[in-house]
Amino acid sequence: MTVLDTRASQALANDRAHVFHSWSAQGLINPIVVAGAEGSWFWDEDGKRYLDFSSQLVNVNIGHQHPKMVAAIQEQAARLCTIAPIHANDARSEAARLIVERAPGDLNMVFFTNGGAEATENAIRMARLHTGRNKVLTTYRSYHGATGGAIQLTGDPRRWPSEPGIPGVVKFWGPYPYRSQFHSEDEIQESQRALQHLRDTLMVEGPQTVAAVMLESVVGTNGILVPPPGYLEGVRSICDEYGIVLIADEVMSGFGRCGQWFAIQNWDVTPDLICFAKGVNSGYLPLGGVIISQRIADTFRERQFPGGLTYSGHPLACASAVASINIYEEEGIIDHARHLGRDVIGPGLQTLKDKHPSVGDVRGIGVFWAIELVKDRATREPLVPFNAAGEANAPMVELIGACKARGLWPFTHFNRLHVVPPLTTSDDEIRQGIAIIDEVLELADKRYTGK
């Protein structure tokens, strides 16, 4: 046995003995020991390479181990590792400047957090204090984080074990043309009916009691649901009508993932608050935040904002954000993301849909795509049931295993394969990954029961 193998064995032994993993039954998992990563690839201690079609947790937007990012972190560490958030420092102020210059409208200030969940928590706090109201509306099929408040904002089953939680959170249905809650016949009708449903929800909840509507600009984990034409514009109008704060959760969809700095810019809509994390520095260090409109920032000009974090605007993390934004600009990464979605991923997934009966729908924007798998295209019965576990989820477990065996690391949720590689992935690497998906979809086709 080589020294490398011994280290791998020790790393795994220590992990299994002492590391408590998130979202897992501890005795049922067998994590690989990751030895290194570069670009769109990572590899284990045995040297097996994986094409990262997950961007880990849809955050490694500029790819693994970008040399300019690593150098910027090293330089900042040599100069100033940490300082309390009560002080000003150049890394934090420059990161804030670069972020707001790319945000829409008058979103002119940034409150830095350590990640996305803290961003959504603080956004609703700002909205409640700004409006003097309590209720916050969020959608089913959403995810806003796993901390105490953020998990209650979430609209998928991960919320259930944490209930009851903070009061005042109300759920409503967002648009989903493929599985319409409103029996819509096309995207325009879906948009209109979803907006009417939001109005109806506000009517029975009392719009004067609602502080905020929080939406993922493009729903992420729960389906890559691209809003139909007119929907986000309509939500903005409804919020303006009733003095409600519109919060765009762009933790997953922001920083180039949807072909713009912020996904909502695809629809020329300006929210009052934007929550960000993940792609702001590709997860090289923990960082998130809330971008704040001038109107809401002014609420706290002579009134204390009752919130803070020891590591808010941490210099190392902010230096990585500065480097990241400059890398986006210098390397044309956002243009490349648009190209990948338009010219490579979109057409490639459409070809899979045309070939495989188990593919019910493909949808996406930029480098943010989903393949929805079904047993029957006519009835749209999903390949596995909603929130499937155990034997019921066996078809998806089989697909995941087949991807990994072929050197593709997938991102999956319920009955979907998501195509969310780093934005820097090459055309050929995308085609390589899609070719692997093409192979493993034969397994889903075998379970197809439709005509």
DSSP character string of 152-201: HH--SGGGGGG-S-STTEEEE----GGG-TT--SSHHHHHHHHHHHHHHH
How long is the chain?
A: 451
CA–CA distance, 245 with 55 (Å, rounded to integer): 31
Q: Find out whether 424 and 324 touch, Cβ atoms under 8 Å.
A: no
CA–CA distance, 103 with 275 (Å, rounded to integer): 11
| Residue 268: both structure tokens together | 């020329």
In percent, how much of the chain has pLDDT > 90? 98
In percent, how much of the chain has pLDDT > 70? 98
Confidence check: pLDDT of 6 > 80: no
CA–CA distance, 291 with 104 (Å, rounded to integer): 10
* Residue of 335, 291, 298, 294 lying closest to 424 (CA atoms): 335
> Containing H/E element for 142?
none
* Residue of 424, 449, 302, 435 lying closest to 373 (CA atoms): 449
> Containing H/E element for 122?
helix 116-131
Q: Look at 176 and 7; give whichever has higher pLDDT.
A: 176
Task: State which amino acid sits at residue 445.
Answer: D
Q: Find out whether 337 and 423 touch, Cβ atoms under 8 Å.
A: yes
Q: What is the pLDDT, as a whole number, of residue 1?
A: 33
Rounded (5°) CA angle 72-109-130: 145
3-class SS at 60? coil
Beta bridge partners of 247: 214, 273
| Residue 81: both structure tokens together | 């590792």
Confidence band of 26 (pLDDT split at 50, 70, 90): very high
CA–CA distance, 231 with 237 (Å, rounded to integer): 10
Q: Average pLDDT for residues 416-443, to the nearest whole number?
A: 98
Least confident of 96-100, 163-167, 169-173: 163-167
pLDDT in tens, 97-118: 999 999 999 999 999 999 999 9
Confidence check: pLDDT of 435 > 80: yes
Confidence check: pLDDT of 5 > 80: no
Confidence check: pLDDT of 7 > 90: no
> Considering the chain, what is the average pLDDT of its residues?
96
Confidence check: pLDDT of 449 > 70: yes
CA–CA distance, 419 with 401 (Å, rounded to integer): 16
Q: Find out whether 172 and 139 touch, Cβ atoms under 8 Å.
A: yes
Q: Cis peptide leading into 164, omega within 30 of 0? A: yes
| Residue 18: both structure tokens together | 């002492």
Confidence check: pLDDT of 8 > 90: no
Q: What is the pLDDT, as a whole number, of residue 451?
A: 84
Q: Find out whether 2 and 36 touch, Cβ atoms under 8 Å.
A: no
Confidence band of 201 (pLDDT split at 50, 70, 90): very high
> CATH homologous superfamily of domain 32-65+332-445?
Aspartate Aminotransferase, domain 1 (3.90.1150.10)
Q: Find out whether 274 and 291 touch, Cβ atoms under 8 Å.
A: yes
Q: What is the pLDDT, as a whole number, of residue 102?
A: 98
State the first-to-last Cα distance of the chain, in angstroms, to the nearest integer. Answer: 53
Q: What is the pLDDT, as a whole number, of residue 3?
A: 41
Confidence band of 443 (pLDDT split at 50, 70, 90): very high
Ranges of each domain in the chain? 32-65+332-445, 68-331
Confidence check: pLDDT of 66 > 50: yes
Give φ, ψ of 49 to 5 degrees. -100, 145
Q: Find out whether 174 and 205 touch, Cβ atoms under 8 Å.
A: no
Give φ, ψ of 247 to 5 degrees. -110, 125
pLDDT in tens, 224-282: 999 999 999 999 999 999 999 999 999 999 999 999 999 999 999 999 999 999 999 99
Q: Find out whether 395 and 440 touch, Cβ atoms under 8 Å.
A: no
Class of 68-331 in CATH: alpha beta
Q: Find out whether 409 and 419 touch, Cβ atoms under 8 Å.
A: no
CA–CA distance, 294 with 267 (Å, rounded to integer): 21
